[in-house]
Amino acid sequence: MISDLFSLTVLVGILSSGIRLATPYLFVSIGETFSQLSGVLNLGVEGQMLLSAFAAFYVAINTGNLWLGLLTAMIVGALMGLAMAFVTVNLHAQQGISGIGFYMFGLGMSNLLFQRMVGTVETVQGFPTIDIPLLSKIPIFGNIFFSQNILVYLAFLLVPVAWFVLNKTTLGLKIRAVGENPESADSLGISVSSIRYFTIILGGTLSGLGGASLSIALLNVFQQNLTAGLGFIAVALVYFGGWRPWGVLAGALLFSMVNALQLWIQVLGIPIAAEFAVMMPYILTIVVLVLSVSKVRTPSALTKPFKREG
Partner 1 sequence: MKSRLNAILDALLPLFATLAALIVGAIMLIILDVNPIVAYGALLEGAFGNTNALAETLVKATPLLLVGLGICIAYRGNVINLGGEGQMIVGALLGTFVGLSISGLPGWVIITISMVSGTLAGAFWGVIPGVLKAYFNVNEILTTVMMNAIAVQLMSFFLTGPMIDPAQAEMTSLIPQTARLDEALRLPRLVPTRLHLGALIAVILAVLVYILLWRTTIGYRIRAVGQNPFAAKYAGIKVNRYIVLALLLSGAFAGLAGVIQVYGVNYRMITDGSATGFTGNAGFNGIVAALFGQLHPLLTIPASILFGSLLVGANTMQRVVQVPSSLIIALNGLVVIFVVSSEIWREKRQHKRLIVIKNEDNGELQSDENAQDSVEKMP
Point out which residues bind partner 1 (CB under 8 A). 41, 43, 47, 83, 87, 91-94, 96-98, 100-109, 111-112, 115-116, 224-225, 228-229, 232-233, 235-236, 239, 273, 275-276, 278-279, 282-283, 285-286, 289-290, 293-294, 298
Helix (H, G, I), strand (E, B) or coil at 221: strand
Nearer to partner 1, 121 or 290 (CB): 290
* Among 219, 48, 17, CA closest to 122: 219
Rounded Cα–Cα distance for residues 38 and 11 (Å): 40
Using CB atoms within 10 Å of the CB of residue 157, give its burial: 0 to 12 exposed, 13 to 18 middle, 19+ buried.
exposed
Angle between helices 192-213 and 230-240 (to 10 degrees): 130
Q: First and final CA of the chain: distance in angstroms?
A: 70
Shortest Å distance, C-beta 243 to partner 1:
13
**Range list of H helices, 64-94:** 66-85
Nearer to partner 1, 112 or 138 (CB): 112
Nearer to partner 1, 13 or 281 (CB): 281
Shortest Å distance, C-beta 266 to partner 1:
12
Shortest Å distance, C-beta 236 to partner 1:
5
Nearer to partner 1, 132 or 280 (CB): 280
Contact 9, 3 (CB under 8 A): no
Nearer to partner 1, 141 or 276 (CB): 276
Shortest Å distance, C-beta 88 to partner 1:
9
Contact 260, 18 (CB under 8 A): yes
Shortest Å distance, C-beta 3 to partner 1:
24
